[in-house]
Amino acid sequence: MAVESLSTVEAARRLRVEGPNTLPSPRPPSPVLLLAQQMVHFFALLLWAAAGLAFVGGMPELAVAIVAVVVINGVFAFFQEYRADRAGRRLRDLLPTRVTVRRDGARKVIDADELVHGDIVLLEAGDKISADLKLLESHGLAVDESMLTGESVPVRRDTGDGLYAGTFVTEGEAEARVVATGERTRLADIAALTRQAERRPGPLSLQLRRVVTSVAVIAITIGVVFFGIALLLGMEPSKGFLLAVGVTVALVPEGLLPTVTLSLSRAAQQMAHRNALVRRLDSVETLGATTFICTDKTGTLTRNEMSVVEVWTPSGTAHVQGAGYSPEGLVTGAVDEARGLAVTAYRCSGGRVVQRNGGWHPSGDPMEAALHALALRVKADLSPEPLLARFPFDPRRRRMSVATPSGLHVKGAPDSLLPRCHDVEGAEAALADMTTRGLRVLAVAWKPCDSPPPDADTAEQDLTLLGLVGLIDPPRDDVAEAIASCRAAGIRLAMLTGDHPATGRAVATAVGLAGPDPTVLLGADLPRDDDELGALLEQDGVVLARVTPEDKLRVARALQKRGHVVAMTGDGVNDGPALRQADIGVAMGASGTDVAREAADLVLLDDHFSTIVAAVELGRATFSNIRRFLTYHLTDNVAELVPFAAWAITGSNIPLALGVLQILALDIGTDLLPALALGAEPPGKHTMSGKVRSRGLVDRAVLIRVFGVLGPTEALFEMAAFVAVLLAGGWTWGQEPSAVLLFTASGTAFTTVVLGQLATALACRSETRWIGRMSWPGNPLLLGALAVELLVLALFLGVPPVADLLGGGPPSPLGWLMALTVVPAVLAVDTAAKAVVGRARRREPEGEKPR
């Protein structure tokens, strides 16, 4: 019966009132604004302030150099993150461009954005659904809703049911009325959730902010103190101010910002080589801090492809090996009986497997395509037969049948089909066993048929049960090993799926995510209180089934409230809001939607769960590397500060050993490449052993190494070399040295710091092992960086214009001797300190150990 349709005039009126059938399009962030954000974060502001002070203090060269550091770093970070934050706009790509409707009583094809409330839409297999609809007529309609619900199998829909924009028809035909368009659809609600979910600052951002804040406070405080000391010593206020500015700028680690950015970028490139695409640079380190992974099932832990794994027949059971839709696969057991069943299952199915792009893929219903693959594997006779009658699947009958000259072929839900069969002995027990193991089960039956039956109810009686077919979306091959690695790393896991709880339980148990008796809950049964929800999820291996996008958001927030760093995986539209809310959103790159990919921080290009483990390992290594080069930078700061302290403490009786431009040359000249090379240190064998780290970037161990071991050693030899050269040149206490002598002595102090930093770089490769036990080929970049550091030192000392600008020239023979002794001294003191630390660590529980 045809339903009255809208007229073209009425449709045009409603389009003017309701607006086009498009999703709300938030204004994309301006590239200029994104670039500006890279220039005004906290650390950048600190450097801008340092540049301003340098300019006011009469040091324009220093100001220009610092500005260059900020700008170059900001531009680099901008290009790394330019494509972020577009999830809401990508949702529009899920809508089709054309749709078939009935208007003015006639069939018409219109643009999807012209749909209005009340339009009659005509659907058939392969159509994408372009608005929220209510079914008026349905003929065997099956809809793939996985992108919205996570349900891995197409859902049967009947008259009166609702359909949602963004899904698509896999089987059957239907007429439906539009009930919501554009921003009023379910898809638009998810788009709004995605935009509303705000990302928390990552652990690295928070810790760097604390470090930089501390450095800023210390630098300003010491600068003020030195200004006061200068005034007490009788220095002119203008000169005292210049001194204070120099001290303040000296304590700001100008090289830290580009080192962090480039280190994260290199780690991101390494992850890309391992099929993990990082979309936000600070996500690299956040991965290493992950304490809880909430993983989707379909397409993440599983292949997102249906496979027949078992065929039960009254005469025996056949087992099918080989996942996917390929015709190749070993079938053992009752193969002949399975062959007969496969013919009938094939006859009453519309889905097929097709070969394209070098592989086998489903066409139509994936479950029916799996039945076709089974028939090909058992070498069934699939010769074409004339079709006498066809009775499509409908939700009332939950069966489908086809009549051909060879008989009536029927398949359907076991509880619907078994009562219509005679002699079903053993079927109930087999069905219970298959269901318990999480298999999806279809019953297949047959009876002779000489003529076309009048209707389905008449035909589907007194059937012979051929058997039961067990299907599963098989787990990925490497998931179990990856989950075991997560557990070894102290990372907890939970499965969040829109699928049936029995299926979720079976997959979770099969891959080792859950134990034999896991906690399985429906989304509708989750505690309403977030604190209770968080406490429930603290149990490792929980399975949450039939979850909604809102449920996933609540899970992420509840875990974050309990202090967890949450990674959330997903591939569908329904995963977008939760991916954005999580500390790390992980999307599937091959099978996932644009929505999930654009909402995520990390995209798995190969869809393998194991790639997450590799990314976490690199994230942990990156954190350790940041500690390494942070120790390296701070040690240099100690050596840079001590000359000013010596000048102040002695009442200017000891001249300044280093100038401000020499300090800048150390920070962004000689130190930068070795620091970057320390950021490239590969993961150690213990990186993924033990619980997630709880220590900060700068903890007691780092402070002791910087201010108790490496820094004082460098500073002691720096000042000893400086004073020795002065004394050898005839200087006496309190006397103003000649310009030539000060030029040589200052160059000696500068050289000592550079060589001391060379030894410090070698020492910083490990917190516990002395350099003799480290693998030299393990980080070839460091050896190259140290060679370049020596070349830059030669440039700074040996090129007269550069040396004159910096204020230090080549050391004297005595100066070279004194400067060179800093290398064995730093390594010897470091080795002794590590021996003490090593004895203390051996008394601690096993955990994450550095290389």
CB contact at 8 A, 112 and 95: yes
Sort residue 546 into left (φ over 0), alpha (ψ -120 to 50) or beta.
left
Are 101 and 110 within 8 A, CB to CB? yes
Under a CB-based contact definition with an 8 Å cutoff, are residues 280 and 587 in contact? no
Residue 731 CA: distances (Å) to CA of 648, 653, 724, 741:
19, 11, 10, 9
**Structure tokens belonging to residue 672:** 């930068």
Helix (H) / strand (E) element for 436: namely helix 427-436
CA-CA-CA-CA torsion for 141, 143, 545, 312, nearest 10 degrees?
60
- Phi, psi for 587 (deg, rounded to 5): -110, 155
Tokens in use for 561?
Answer: 């409230």
Summary count for the chain: helices (H), strands (E): 32, 26
Angle between helix 739-763 and helix 780-798 axes, rounded to 10 deg: 180
Q: Contact at 8 Å (CB) between 639 and 753?
A: yes
Could you confirm whether 594 is annotated as catalytic? no
Number of Cβ within a 10 Å radius of residue 452: 12
| Residue 82 DSSP label | T
Q: Among the options 85, 132, 144, 296, which is catalytic?
A: 296
Instruction: Report the length, in residues, of the chain.
Output: 851
- Sequence-distant (6+) residues with CB within 8 A of 839 are none
Strands 407-412 vs 440-447: parallel, antiparallel or unpaired: antiparallel
CA torsion 520-526-527-533 (nearest 10°) is 70
Q: How far is the CA of 125 from the CAs of 71, 122, 170, 173, 396, in angstroms? A: 55, 11, 5, 7, 20
Alpha carbons 161 and 157: distance in angstroms, whole number:
6
Residue tagged 């770093």 (tokens): 73
533 CB contacts (<8 Å, ≥6 apart)? 526, 527, 554, 555, 558
Euclidean distance between CA atoms 571 and 593, whole angstroms = 6
List residues with catalytic annotation. 296
